[in-house]
Amino acid sequence: MTPRIRAWLASNRGRLWLGLRMIISALLAYGLALAFGLTQGYWAVLTTIIVTQNSVGGSLKAAIDRLVGSVCGALVGAVTAIVLPAHTPLAVGLALVVAVGPLAMLTAFAPNYRIAPITAIIVLMGTGAATLGPFGFALDRVLEITLGSVVGVVVSVLIVPARAEVQVRGAASETASLLARIMTALASAMQDGAPDLGTLPSQVEAALARLGAAADEAARERRSRLSDQPDLEPLFRTLRRLQQDILALNRLFGVGWPGPVQATLAPPWSAYANLVAEALQGLAVALPAREEPLERAALGAASADFSSSVETMRREGMTHALPTDGVGRILGTAFRVEQLQRDLADFTERVREVAAHGRSRKS
């Protein structure tokens, strides 16, 4: 096996295992559907493909959403078919309006249950209802969905389970690395103005969205007693605050600074921004490996140096000649630096908690 193939296999290990779990789930669901004599076993097979997700938490969510939606849709469809027997095209149309109407409103407010109106339509228009009756056909449908959901979750738990916590660490690492790149670009912003960040802000937003979804799945695993991981939601919240701090600083640098302000504040700001970028990149590396974050005393000193420079400007009256909005921008930058320092310390503590949990599992 060539090094290139080995590298490709290593980088795509998660995707390959997901594909294998889907294959196993589909075959197992098909075999069980045959064993139980289900008339439409293909629904069980389809359900396993839908339910088998990248993580155990994702599989649990997909299974619950599909089960709840199928039960609601099957029940509404069966009741409608009995109350409004559809023997003509007009009657079928009326029954569809009565059944699908409330379920469509449900999915408008809860998109996760989109399967509900689909199930109701199948019960009303499926050919099996003519032989099994509405309730019999609806019951078969629910049993098939239940079988597929259970198989999908069981296979996700037993066959090389992918924990959402791993995805959380990966998405958090990616977010921190992107924020580090923004801080590097901002290091010269006090002299050169706000840099062109290109797609970096949208990349950060996308990474945070993945992080939030993975944190929800991790919480579901923890509530289901399928994981002993600590609550990872604070990791998402802290990175969201860091994003807001850094983008707010970028907006403050959108207008050029007067020469005296640049001469006083640009050097300490540049030193601090580069140290923040270095710290964020270090935390991005530590997260996936569950490593203890490094102590960075120089970062606190750089933050204090910038705040001291702002105070020096005020004490020496350098701000008196500036317009009000200029003074406001200086004070706003000082406030954001203090906030960024607190949130960065909070993020470091969250990474330390992840590392501590990793050590406790090994011991």
**Both tokens assigned to 357:** 């949990």
pLDDT of residue 360: 63
pLDDT in tens, 326-353: 777 888 888 999 999 999 999 999 999 8
CB atoms under 10 Å from CB of 114, counted, come to 17
**Measured distance CA(338)–CA(345) in Å, rounded:** 11
Per domain, the residue ranges of the chain are 3-158, 164-362
Q: Which residues of 159-189 are buried (b: 16+ CB within 10 A; e: fewer)?
A: bebbbbbbbbbbbbbbbbbbbbbbbbbbbbb
CB atoms under 10 Å from CB of 41, counted, come to 21
**Measured distance CA(22)–CA(288) in Å, rounded:** 26
* Domain formed by 164-362, architecture: Up-down Bundle (1.20)
Task: Give pTM, 2 decimals.
Answer: 0.74
CB 349 within 8 A of CB 262: no
CB atoms under 10 Å from CB of 300, counted, come to 15
pLDDT of residue 226: 65
pLDDT in tens, 227-265: 667 778 888 999 999 999 999 998 888 777 777 777 888
296 conformational bin, left if phi > 0, alpha if psi -120 to 50, beta if neither = beta
